[in-house]
């Protein structure tokens, strides 16, 4: 009590025209802060107090009453923004009281909190979660079995908004809310991101517009491994105050912390989409044959590639290529190869990315994605040459490897050329790349996986380069 009073008087002495206390609804707090308010008033300070009771835990009327939880952070922000605008104390109190009716919070935890030097505040067997707890280590209102983030969040929002529950927040489709996902102390950023995503999609699934999101540690219970969700129904005025500039160090004001209420879930990759509606062209047959050749030669050399890879990597180079080859063959047998090479490249990029995996999957996918662009509207030899060049450049840009670094990048720069020289060039390329693969034997790995291995232990050709040579040889022979 004495420190609260001292703080109020310090503010008065610093020239504050009024002081507002924002108090969470705990009996001890109400009493001590209330007493300080009375004493400050006796000394002529304009002081007022609002009680935050945003707890949505209780379904039945309870003697303990709704506690103040993380929704208090919203109240601090709104009141602070109003004060910064120079609004009089009575007006701030009035607006804050209005906002309080529209705030609700519920927490869930996988562990109790433990005050340093004390035993845990309650026992929680493994595999169980505590729902509806307070911030001082009080246990919750019920135990649940551990479930997925989506299920838990769905459960929490059901409970928070259930009209049959005494302490619910009335929320309906069409409402707009500010969401705060609060780390109770021990969750990792990864877990926080998973819960945040689940909360946004759960709310949006109920037709609620998520106007703003904040996610992080705002009101913790020491190292409790749990999370609370706070919702504040928002109108234009509430959002304006929420968005007001502040230099408060704990306020998340970087872009990216707040998002506006659009759905930003990624569309699933367009792999396996039915291309049968796409027109077959004169090239379809040729390209299908070529792909079959490429895939079967990769499958033939699976073991050889694996054994080369065992010398410098984890021995799965043949397997990953075989995986991609099988996926492509499977796709070939159930789809019509599009007549446009650019479209084919894009489809292959998606397939490889999804089914091949690892760095090789990403590298091939990068190559194919970049190569698809010049081939979108053209398929003359010069466009193919540009495409090969664009693909190689993309690998170099993101893979950080250059020719000579003992990686799959052994491709000489291609120049646009006429059809007759194209075939010659392809042949030269095939021989060059076979030579190139062979010559990686003598290179020092400066990028890629082999770069972590002592040079004297890497004496065989690079398996990735051998795989590329295999692909090019198959392409050439199928023509």
**Phi/psi of residue 232, each to 5°?**
-130, 120
> Has 136 been annotated as catalytic?
yes
Looking at the Cβ atoms of 161 and 360, the one nearer to ligand NAG is 161
Dist CA 26 CA 53 (whole Å): 9
CB of 160 to ligand NAG, least distance (A): 15
Least CB distance to ligand NAG at residue 63 (A): 7
The single residue among 4, 51, 93, 305 that binds ligand NAG, judged by CB under 6 A, is: 51
CA atoms 360, 366, 371, 372: torsion sign: positive
Our CA angle for 387, 388, 393, nearest 5°, is 95
Per the listing, tokens 């707009």 go with 176
Among 59, 176, 209, 246, binds ligand NAG (CB under 6 A): 246
Residue 28 neighbours by CB under 8 Å, 6+ apart: none
Smallest gap, in angstroms, from Cβ of residue 49 to ligand NAG? 12
Tokens of 411: 């491709």
In angstroms, give the least distance from the CB of 14 to ligand NAG: 21
The region of 131-139, 239-247, 332-340, 362-370 touching ligand NAG under the rule CB under 6 A is 239-247
Of 145 and 245, the one with the shorter C-beta distance to ligand NAG is 245
Cβ proximity to ligand NAG, 106 vs 385, nearer residue: 106
CB of 27 or CB of 420, closer to ligand NAG: 27
Q: Tell me whether residue 43 or residue 97 sits nearer to ligand NAG (CB atom).
A: 97
- Contact region with ligand NAG (CB under 6 A), list: 246-254, 309-317, 336-344, 445-453: 246-254
36 touches 1 (CB < 8 A): yes
How many whole angstroms separate alpha carbon 157 and alpha carbon 185? 21
From candidates 253, 300, 359, 439, binder to ligand NAG by CB under 6 A: 253
Q: Which is closer to ligand NAG, CB of 80 or CB of 341?
A: 80
Contact status: 252 vs ligand NAG (CB under 6 A): no
Residues 10-49 that bind ligand NAG (CB under 6 A): 25, 27
Residue reference for tokens 């492509």: 328
Q: How many CB atoms lie within 10 A of CB 365?
A: 21
- Closest separation in Å from C-beta 167 to ligand NAG: 8
Q: Which stretch binds ligand NAG (CB under 6 A): 4-12, 243-251, 402-410, 457-465?
A: 243-251
d(C-alpha 385, C-alpha 372), whole Å: 12
What residues contact residue 368 under an 8 Å CB cut-off, 6+ apart?
345, 346, 348, 349, 352, 391
Cα separation of 176 and 113, whole Å? 33
Instruction: Find the shortest distance in angstroms from Cβ 62 to ligand NAG.
Output: 8
Catalytic site residue from 76, 136, 335, 380: 136
Q: In whole angstroms, how close is the CB of 134 to ligand NAG at the nearest point?
A: 12
State which residue, 107 or 381, has the beta carbon closest to ligand NAG: 107
Name the residue nearer to ligand NAG (CB basis): 245 or 333: 245
Which residue's structure tokens are 């304006």?
240
- State the SS3 of 348-402: HHHHHHHHCCHHHHHHHHHHHHHHHCCCCCCCCHHHHHHHHHHHHHHHHHHHCCC
Among 173, 247, 263, 277, binds ligand NAG (CB under 6 A): 247
User: What is the total count of residues that contact ligand NAG (CB under 6 A)?
Assistant: 11
Using CB atoms within 10 Å of the CB of residue 117, give its burial: 0 to 12 exposed, 13 to 18 middle, 19+ buried: exposed
- Size (the chain), residues: 479
Shortest spacing between CB 19 and ligand NAG, in angstroms:
21
Binding mask 56-75 for ligand NAG (x = CB under 6 A): --------xxx---------
Q: Binding string, 283-302, against ligand NAG, x = CB under 6 A?
A: --------------------
Coil, strand or helix at 433 = helix
List, in sequence order, every beta strand (DSSP E) within 280-346.
none
CB 414 within 8 A of CB 388: yes
Q: Which residue is nearest to ligand NAG (CB)?
A: 65
H-helix segments, 130-268: 149-161, 189-205, 236-243
Stretch that binds ligand NAG, among 245-253, 270-278, 304-312, 350-358 (CB under 6 A): 245-253
Active site residues: 136
- Residue ranges that bind ligand NAG, judged by CB under 6 A: 25, 27, 51, 53, 64-66, 245-247, 253
């Amino acid at each position: 009590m004495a420190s609260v009073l001292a703080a109020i008087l310090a503010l008065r002495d610093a020239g504050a025209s009024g002081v507002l206390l924002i108090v969470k609804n705990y009996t001890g707090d109400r009493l001590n802060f209330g007493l300080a308010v009375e004493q400050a008033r006796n000394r002529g300070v304009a002081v007022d107090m609002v009680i935050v009771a945003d707890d949505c835990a209780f379904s039945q009327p309870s003697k303990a009453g709704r506690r103040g939880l993380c929704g208090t952070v919203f109240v601090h922000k709104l009141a602070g923004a109003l004060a910064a605008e120079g609004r009089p104390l009575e007006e701030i109190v009035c607006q804050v009281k209005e906002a309080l009716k529209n705030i609700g919070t519920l927490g869930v935890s996988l562990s109790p909190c433990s005050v340093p030097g004390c035993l845990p505040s309650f026992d929680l067997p493994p595999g169980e979660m505590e729902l509806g707890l307070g911030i001082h280590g009080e246990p919750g209102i019920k135990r649940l079995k551990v479930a997925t983030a989506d299920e838990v969040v769905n459960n929490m929002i059901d409970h928070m908004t259930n009209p049959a529950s005494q302490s619910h927040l009335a929320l309906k489709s069409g409402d707009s809310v500010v969401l705060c996902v609060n780390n109770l102390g021990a969750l990792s950023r990864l877990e926080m991101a998973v819960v945040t995503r689940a909360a946004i999609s759960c709310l949006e699934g109920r037709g609620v517009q998520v106007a703003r999101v904040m996610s992080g540690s705002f009101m913790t219970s020491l190292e409790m491994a749990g999370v609370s969700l706070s919702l504040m129904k928002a109108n234009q005025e509430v959002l304006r105050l929420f968005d007001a500039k502040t230099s408060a160090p704990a306020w998340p004001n970087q872009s990216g912390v707040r998002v506006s209420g659009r759905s930003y879930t990624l569309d699933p990759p367009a792999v396996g989409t039915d291309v049968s509606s796409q027109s077959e062209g004169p090239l379809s047959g040729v390209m299908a044959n070529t792909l079959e050749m490429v895939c079967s030669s990769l499958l033939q050399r699976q073991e050889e590639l694996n054994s080369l890879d065992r010398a410098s990597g984890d021995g799965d180079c043949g397997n990953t290529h075989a995986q991609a080859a099988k996926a492509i063959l499977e796709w070939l047998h159930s789809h019509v190869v599009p007549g446009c090479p650019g479209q084919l490249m894009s489809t292959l990029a998606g397939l490889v990315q999804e089914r091949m995996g690892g760095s090789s999957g990403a590298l091939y996918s990068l190559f194919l994605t970049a190569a698809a662009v010049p081939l979108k509207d053209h398929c003359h030899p010069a466009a193919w040459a540009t495409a090969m060049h664009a693909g190689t450049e993309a690998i170099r840009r993101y893979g950080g490897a250059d020719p000579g670094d003992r990686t799959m990048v052994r491709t000489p720069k291609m120049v646009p050329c006429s059809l007759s020289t194209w075939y010659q060039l392809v042949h030269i390329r095939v021989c060059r790349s076979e030579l190139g693969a062979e010559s990686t034997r003598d290179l020092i790995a400066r990028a890629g996986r082999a770069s972590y291995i002592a040079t004297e232990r890497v004496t065989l050709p690079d398996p990735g380069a051998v795989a590329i040579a295999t692909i090019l040889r198959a392409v050439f022979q199928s023509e």
